[in-house]
Amino acid sequence: MPRFTNFILIFFIVCSVSFGQLNPGNLFNKANDYYQEENYQQAIEVYNEILDMGYVSSSLFYNLGNAHYRLGDLGYAILYYEKGLKLEPNDEDLKYNLKIVKARTIDQIKEVPQIFLIEWWELLLTSFTTSGWAIILITFYILFLISIGLYFLVKSLSVQRTAFFSGIILLAFTLVSVVLFISKVDRDSSADYGVVLEKEIAAKLSPDSKSNDAFVIHEGLKFEIRDQLNDWVQIKLSDGKVGWLPKSSMDSI
């Protein structure tokens, strides 16, 4: 089912007079109506109109993923669920639907086992977006400054003692938040992922259609993008395999 959330509601209200029928809010509702009428292809076209206008949200990607899933386009469904999770990593609806669709894909590749600490660190980093970690960092920093202010401005020994120990704890949390925020920024800027959209395609050993096949993959498979050359992208699967795909066969998350 599509989501009927406040899709940038305030902005839509402000812009409704200027944009009229081209208002993203109106288009969003129109697409949702098409979805309810089971006219999924028309719903997708209208959702894409919103994307073309430069508006994105987890709800928009969620609805796009649902519409593609209804049409049997598993690759596109996974692509948009992944795009939604990139904006809202803790969205339970997106996680659930992504799990359902992935269960229907052909390629069930096992990831290379990671050291527990590395796996735990990755899970922690992906718990929030970059903006989320920035908000956490700022919050701890402000609380730390408040504790310093209480320590120097309040003459009560009990308050000073509480402020002193609280300040130490908050400073530690602030420093950890700094590390997590920097790591998240570095991770998002250095790693790029994509999804296979073709029903079946052979990855090549080199960026050349005449090159030998490295392996065969199917729609919906997620991979890391390692490099790009002209109309080709070098990909790395979760099991460590590396090959080249034409850009037309995939899309970036």
Of 118 and 156, the one with more pLDDT: 156
For residue 17, the model assigns a pLDDT of 43
Q: Is residue 78 part of a domain?
A: yes
Same domain, 42 and 96: yes
Same domain, 174 and 120: yes
- Asked if residue 85 has pLDDT above 70, the reply is yes
Across the range 48-54, mean pLDDT stands at 93
Average pLDDT, the chain: 88
Number of compact structural domains in the chain: 3
Same domain, 43 and 67: yes
CB 40 within 8 A of CB 70: yes
CB 227 within 8 A of CB 213: no
Same domain, 79 and 138: no
Q: Tell me which of 103-117, 127-141, 159-173, 174-188 is least confident.
A: 103-117
What's the rounded Cα separation, in Å, for the pair 216 and 209? 14
Percent of the chain with pLDDT over 90: 70
Same domain, 205 and 148: no
Q: Is residue 2 part of a domain?
A: no
For residue 160, the model assigns a pLDDT of 92
Q: Is residue 55 part of a domain?
A: yes
Q: Is residue 18 part of a domain?
A: yes
CB 94 within 8 A of CB 88: yes
Q: Is residue 98 part of a domain?
A: yes
pTM here is 0.71
Q: Could you list the residue range(s) of the whole structural domain that residue 67 is in? A: 9-102
DSSP string covering 34-96, please?
HHHTT-HHHHHHHHHHHHHTT---HHHHHHHHHHHHHTT-HHHHHHHHHHHHHH-TT-HHHHH
**Can you tell me whether residue 97 is helix, strand or coil?**
helix
End position of a domain, from candidates 136, 160, 190: 190
Provide the pLDDT confidence category of residue 46 given band limits of 50, 70 and 90.
very high
Same domain, 212 and 173: no
What's the rounded Cα separation, in Å, for the pair 165 and 71? 58
Same domain, 26 and 88: yes
pLDDT in tens, 141-164: 999 999 999 999 988 999 999 999
- Asked if residue 14 has pLDDT above 70, the reply is no
Across the range 177-199, mean pLDDT stands at 87
